[in-house]
Amino acid sequence: MAATDFKDYYQILGVSKTATPEEIKKAYRKLARKYHPDLNPGDKEAEKRFKEINEAQEVLSDPEKRSKYDQFGQYWQQAAAGTPPPGAGVGGFDFSQYGSFDDFINELLGRFGGSAGRDSSGRRVYTYRTSTSPPGAGGFGGFEDVFGSGGFQEVPAADTEAAITLTLKEAWHGTQKRLQLDAETIKVRIPPGAKPGSRIRIKGKGRTSPFSQQRGDLYLTIDLKPHSLFKFEGDNILCQVPITPEEAALGADIKIPTPDGSVTMKIPSGVDSGQSLRLRGKGWRDAKGRRSDQIVKLKIVTPKELTPQERECYKKLRQASSFNPRRSIEEVRL
């Protein structure tokens, strides 16, 4: 990562470097609600801020990642993977001459007949030619002339990031998926209650380190397909429910769908179109089985076709009613 790409995660969340995990979590939740795409439809800047907020939370909420970030700054990811950051001399070798870590790897691979590219999922892949170490060479053969005698430390396996898309039904009930990782097929169990942005760790299924030959872990980020009725609003779920004009005027008891079946909800008289009501404890469930709320947004729908009897009733209502919803705006002038 070049210096200009560095992101100050503490500044993004608006907390100090000494912030406690609770303070970080509180700041994240406040900002995530403010910039959530569902609350800022079509706002590209809010979408960008939301992604940065999630990225900052992911690093600062993980004690190990946060420690590396605090110690190595813009090169914390290289340090977390066990690779020396640019500028940090190892065995007399100066890394500061490279603009990025990829530049360093590309030159290294060039020296040993290797190459760099990307696999089918877009991840960067490095391949290289190994050599047999002569006695006393420290076990790394051709790498000796780059790092200097005794100056190279074994690099641990690197973790792999990937995304998986589920239907809302699969996320609610939990599911099992088959994933194709290069030539390997693995089964992944998704527990009930996964939400957009949830991460699942699969040990030992990440990339293989070309140095240690050990595999890192695979981290799956959950994405959800749009649903015809439900969508997330923070931790809660939201649905829009149509009601008739007479139900809005007089009130009614109506059936409302929830993730685990319909319930009866009382609609008070005199509600407006767009008004929201709350079903407590009927929203999404977390890994411990606790339920958030379901927000019900009402939409008054008028009939497009009327029977003669219905039309006559509406005419009588119009003649008898003194209600004028436009009274407050009739005298408005500029």
Q: Using 50, 70 and 90 to split pLDDT, how confident is the model at 271?
A: very high
Identify the three-state secondary structure at position 198: coil
**Contact indicator for 112, 128 with CB cutoff of 8 Å:** yes
User: Is residue 237 one of the residues assigned to a domain?
Assistant: yes
Q: Do 7 and 68 reside in the same domain of the chain?
A: yes
- Inside any domain, residue 40: yes
**CATH at residue 249:** 2.60.260.20
Together in a domain, 195 and 243: no
Q: What is the CATH number of the domain that holds 62?
A: 1.10.287.110
Domain endpoint, select from 83, 102, 135? 83
Place of tokens 């940065």: 52
Instruction: Read off the pLDDT of each residue in 140-144 and give the average, rounded to a whole number.
Output: 36
Is pLDDT at 108 greater than 70 in this prediction?
A: no
Residue entry with tokens 């929201």: 276
For residues 4 and 36, membership in a common domain is answered with yes
Same domain, 243 and 264: yes
**Cα dihedral: 78, 81, 82, 86 (round 10):** -10
Rounded CA Rg of the chain: 29
Is residue 318 domain-resident? yes
Cβ–Cβ < 8 Å for 61, 55: no
Q: How many domains does the chain have?
A: 3
**Domain annotation covers residue 102:** no
Residues 218 and 235 reside in one and the same domain: no
How confident is the model over 287-297, as a mean pLDDT? 92
Whether residue 138 is predicted with pLDDT greater than 60 in this model: the reply is no
Same domain, 280 and 218: no
Domain-located, residue 112 = no
Average per-residue pLDDT for the chain? 78
Q: Give the pairing of strands 236-243 and 294-300.
A: parallel
The answer to the question of residue 58 being in a domain is yes
Helix extents (H) in the chain? 9-13, 21-35, 44-60, 63-72, 76-80, 101-111, 144-147, 168-173, 245-250, 308-320
Please, what sign has the CA dihedral across residues 198, 202, 205, 206? positive
**Predicted confidence band at 303 (pLDDT cuts at 50, 70, 90)?**
very high
Beta strands in 90-150 (DSSP E): 115-118, 124-127
- Say what the pLDDT of residue 286 is: 85
Residue range(s) defining the domain that contains residue 268: 231-329
Q: Which two tokens stand for residue 292?
A: 């958030």
* Token pair recorded at residue 187: 């089964």
Query: By mean pLDDT, which of 110-124, 149-163, 179-193, 274-288 is the weakest?
Result: 110-124
**Does 219 lie in the same domain as 250?**
no
